[in-house]
Chains A and B, each alone.
Chain A
Amino acid sequence: EIVMTQSPVTLSVSPGERATLSCRASQSISTNLAWYQQKPGQPPRLLFYGASTRATGIPARFSGSGSGTEFTLTISSLQSEDFAVYYCQQYKSWLFTVGQGTRLEIK
C-alpha cells in the first residue's frame, strides 16, 4: 500500500497571502496524483489530477506541481472561500490512498 503523507496538518494564513501545501508518497507514483478541497458538510471537490492538470472551473490562483514522491499545491492569493481541508490522493495503483489532510485556516 502506498502511504500518502501531507504537511502541515494545519496551516494558518491570512487572506491575500500565499499558501503552500505538501504531499509525499511512500514510493514513486509518477504524476498519478489528485488534489481535493472539502468544506464541512460537502463532498470533496476535485482541484487537480495528473498532479498539475486543473479540473473544470478551478480558478487560476490554484496550481499543482510535482512528480515521483513530492507534490505541492499552491494557492497564490487566498480568498475567503479557500479556507477548507485539502487532501491528496494517489491513483497509481489500487488501493487508492489519501493523505490525512491539511486544514487551511484563517490567520
Chain B
Amino acid sequence: EVQLVESGGGLVKPGGSLRLSCVASGFAFSDYTMFWVRQAPGKGLEWVSCISSSSSYSYNADSVKGRFIISRDNAKNSLYLQMNSLRAEDTAVYYCARPTTFSPYSGSDYWGQGTLVTVSS
C-alpha cells in the first residue's frame, strides 16, 4: 500500500524557519518526481515545489522562490521542504504528493494527510 506521511509542521513566528518531512512507503520512491502542495485555510491548492527522482532538477513557485528548498534522500525514502523567512501568507496545510507516472507531467494520485504550518507572532 502506498503511503505518504508528512511531519514537521507547527507554529512559527514570522521570519522563522521550519523543515517539513515526508516519508514514503509502498512504492519505488527513487523512481518518482515528488511535489509539495499547500492549501491555505479555506483556499485552493497551490503547487509549491517539485523535485526530480534523482534531484537533478527542482522547481519552486515564485511565491516561495529564494525562501524554500526542496530536497530528498532516496536511501531514506524521504522528501523534505526547508522553509526559511516564513511569512503569514505561508500559513497552510502542506501536502506531499506523487504523480501517477515517473514523469512529473501527470496528475497526482497519492497524497499524504498533510501537516499544518502556522506563521504567527
A residues within 8 Å of B by Cβ?
32, 34-36, 38, 43-44, 46, 48-50, 55-56, 87, 89, 91-92, 94-101
When C-beta atoms are compared, the residue in chain A nearest to B99 turns out to be A91
Interfacial chain B residues near A46, Cβ < 8 Å: 100, 107-109
B residues within 8 Å of A by Cβ?
35, 44-47, 50, 59, 61-62, 95, 97, 99-100, 104-109, 111-114
When C-beta atoms are compared, the residue in chain B nearest to A97 turns out to be B47
What's the Cα separation between A99 and B46 when bound, in Å?
10
Q: Which residue of the partner chain, among B50, B97, B100, B113, contacts A49 with CB atoms under 8 Å? A: B100
Contact B106 A49 (CB under 8 A): yes
When C-beta atoms are compared, the residue in chain B nearest to A4 turns out to be B44
Interfacial chain A residues near B61, Cβ < 8 Å: 95
Contact A43 B105 (CB under 8 A): no
Q: Which residue of the partner chain, among B62, B107, B114, contacts A89 with CB atoms under 8 Å? A: B107
Contact A34 B107 (CB under 8 A): yes
Contact B45 A91 (CB under 8 A): no
Contact A44 B111 (CB under 8 A): yes
Contact A43 B47 (CB under 8 A): no
Interfacial chain B residues near A44, Cβ < 8 Å: 45, 95, 108, 111
